[in-house]
Structure 1
């Protein structure tokens, strides 16, 4: 994955950024009146919504191995040398945190121990992650420390125009880490950059909003605003198809239910990208981001960021169970936790015929008090990468 390619472009270090990362964190919400524009096909964005925790010490690898859904050690028992996507679960198998783990970060993290890891997590839940880890620390020889944004910051780079792989040389003067983001095909690269430096690439800097829109269009949920803390199963959050779960590894917290769901259960709900549209508009035929207020031709249609989280998705003209719940969005797109057999054409074992999907069925989101209700219609789409995984699982 990291092998050098002849056409690969080098990433070089830029002068220190004059923009305070702490200030960037204050503008994470979308504005209804000024929705972000269509994201560029290539760009690099600082992710102020993500922050890092340093876990270092002789027992660090073994300690993390018993906590996360992916393997921290290789088959020979040595710690992995590549970064990876994973999750922390509760004892009942619900997602506490979605995260990236970066090994061999001694130089970057500024610690003395040889066995050092950086754990990237939702910045708003960094303290709760630190408390969670310390609860299980016991006598393990590890140190846990929050990494400040001016020490190391997180970036995302992508390029849909060129087929070249990105490479990043880490030196003692400019330590950094490049990691391919494997949650969706051709989704881009994660970069950990020392200090407040900006990685200098042949890509224009853009905003985290642009990265977020790309996530929604690719059906990739991130953070506890979208992966409901202590409620969502990792499979419902698509972590099984985003390379976040190793079903062959040994024991970890929450493993029992995760394995049982894999081999005996049917995952009927999954996070999917959705389009909202006005009640007088036709059903959308494609997943397309429209930044204008109203999400399309209906100027009075609320934008997706105005829909309250957990709003129930109901079938228009049909009674019965909810078809899902809304998570988060911007413009005319967002993410929803959707019942596959009701909102999509995905076939699941044991589905009830009366509740099966029909192309002409429509769904809605309604919220507010009686007499002052707001509402939009909503349609779910299944990303190709998820559809391929579900079809392959159904056949085998």
Structure 2
């Protein structure tokens, strides 16, 4: 079983004697999770804003990074900038990201974000044509996607639900952007963030949500009468609209 090809994903290989420590000091999650499966994580700006999200998995003494293919070159460049004199090599691979639901093939790992997202596998063999409606699964469980809900230099990962999606660890050591993220966790109550809403039509991604004539958020991924919306929680409620479409809390 090879599953189906994730056509928009690529794989980087991180190798060298300092690879583990280098990644541990750089990403938002604890690399210890790679001993038993995949780790979902992010790299942030020093101001705590999202830059990249990806999965990290062990491959012998190396580590594989599963990332949106159009973000892979920028991530490789960023990691190269951070490594300084560390014994770390960063290279693109020709491996494919395959994924599926149901029985998991040998060498695959569960998607750590949510059980309904099935498994992921990295292989030189290309999986089948995509048939599963992954957007519907994401929308149902409010799981943001690279380049749609997750916007570089703009999104805060806690507003994007990374704690719920097992993408951040508050017990590990420092990493870039850690101080801002920890302060958001411990010293403030989130007033904005992503939430699945009901929507009785379709609107362009990024469309503004209004209530009582005021802008209170935006609509992003949509499927089966639901959408992932970015909302100001204190202003959300009855009477929300986007374009001429009704948006409702669920």
Question: In 1, Cα distance between the equivalents of 2:41 and 2:239?
Answer: 35
Alignment of 1:185-334 (within 5 A): 185-196=115-126, 206-207=130-131, 210-277=133-200, 295=201, 303-304=202-203, 307-309=204-206, 311-315=207-211, 318-320=212-214, 322-330=215-223, 332-334=225-227
1:131 to partner: Cα distance: 1.2
- Are the counterparts in 2 of residues 324 and 336 from structure 1 also a CA contact under 8 Å? yes
- 1:376 match: 245
Give the secondary structure class of the aligned counterpart of 1:220.
coil
- Are the counterparts in 1 of residues 44 and 52 from structure 2 also a CA contact under 8 Å? yes
2:48 to 70, 88, 93: 93
Question: In 2, Cα distance between the equivalents of 1:183 and 1:380?
Answer: 23
Structure with max Cα Rg:
1
1:156 maps onto 2:99 in alignment: yes
1:184 to partner: Cα distance: 2.5
- Higher normalized strand content (fraction of residues): 2
- 1:317-375 deviations in Å (ceiling 9; x for gaps): x144x3212223356433211222333xxxxxxxxxxxxx4xxx121113xxxxxxxx3
- 1:299 match: none
Structure 2 length-normalised TM: 0.90
1:234 to partner: Cα distance: 0.8
Question: In 2, Cα distance between the equivalents of 1:45 and 1:275?
Answer: 29
- 1:388 match: none
- 2:84 match: 138
Question: In 1, Cα distance between the equivalents of 2:11 and 2:130?
Answer: 22
Higher relative contact order (CA 8 A, sep 6+): 2
- 1:71 match: 30
1:231 to partner: Cα distance: 0.8
Question: In 1, Cα distance between the equivalents of 2:209 and 2:46?
Answer: 29
Aligned pair count reads 250
Alignment of 1:3-152 (within 5 A): 12=1, 44-73=3-32, 80-103=35-58, 105-106=59-60, 115-148=61-94, 152=95
- 1:337 match: 230
- Are the counterparts in 2 of residues 46 and 207 from structure 1 also a CA contact under 8 Å? no
Give the secondary structure class of the aligned counterpart of 2:74.
helix
Structure 2: where are the runs of 5+ without partners?
A: none
Structure 1 length-normalised TM: 0.59
Structure 1: where are the runs of 5+ without partners?
A: 1-11, 14-43, 107-114, 160-165, 170-176, 199-204, 278-294, 296-302, 344-356, 367-374, 382-396
User: How much is the aligned-residue C-alpha RMSD, in angstroms?
Assistant: 2.2
